[in-house]
Amino acid sequence: MNSALTAAITFVVGFLVVKWFLNSSESHPSTKRLATDQQPATNANVAAGRDRANRASARALEVQVQRVQAVATSMSPDQIRAALNQNQGSVETVVERYFNGEFPVQAQPQTDRGVQPGSGTSSDPRKRSNIKPDNLMVKFDVHDSDQFDENVPFNELDLKQRKRYMVWKARQTMKQTLQSDKQLASLID
């Protein structure tokens, strides 16, 4: 028990000595000089940190401008920046105000090929829509006068005949609908 008490006292005294050395107000002169040398570097680090923060906020603003521009294509980037500054950088508020018609619509600039941006007719094949409004009656060579035997099961028709039958059947169904629904018929005329 005597050795355990001696070990505990040695541990406590050692801890107090280490703590006293670390918290000592008098330190070696070289550590004082080191502290004064680091002070200007710290100010430089703060300035560099501010520069990084400014660049980051500028990048964030450009990302916000791009997000708004994706929705509000008629707004110029300067208009968007001003609107973001007015709304504390809230993209949602700017887009909502745009949809409510609070911003004047600007004419989109013509490009050198005479195609307006976002009009859907781009020279880039990846941006062009491959969906074309085909007349299915012409595409599948179906005529109103065609007659299909409705007793033949659909599964027994080959692929080309199935396509022709579906187009013909849709046409016949639409004709019946137009005859019974005058309001729909007025939209087509």
Identify the CATH number of the domain in which residue 62 sits.
1.10.8
Q: What is the mean pLDDT of residues 36-60?
A: 66
Which 3 state secondary structure label does DSSP give 17? helix
Q: How many domains does the chain contain in total? A: 2
Q: For the chain, state the CA radius of gyration.
A: 39
In a domain, 17, yes or no: no
Q: Of 91, 108, 125, which residue is a domain's last?
A: 108
Range of the domain at 88: 43-108
Q: Is the pLDDT of residue 80 over 80?
A: yes
In a domain, 183, yes or no: yes
Which residue, among 47, 38, 87, 42, has the nearest Cα to 64 in the 3D structure? 87
Q: Is the pLDDT of residue 127 over 80?
A: no
pLDDT of residue 14: 92
Q: What is the mean pLDDT of residues 90-106?
A: 77
Which residue, among 80, 57, 60, has the nearest Cα to 70 in the 3D structure? 80
Indicate whether this model's pTM tops 0.75: no
In a domain, 86, yes or no: yes
Across the chain, what does the average pLDDT equal?
A: 75
Comparing 66-75, 78-87, 98-107, 140-149, which segment has the lowest mean pLDDT?
A: 98-107
Q: Of 93, 108, 123, which residue is a domain's last?
A: 108
User: Which runs of consecutive H residues, i.e. helices, occur in 23-158?
Assistant: 29-71, 77-86, 91-99, 136-139
Q: Is the pLDDT of residue 67 over 70?
A: yes
Residues 58 and 103 in one domain: yes
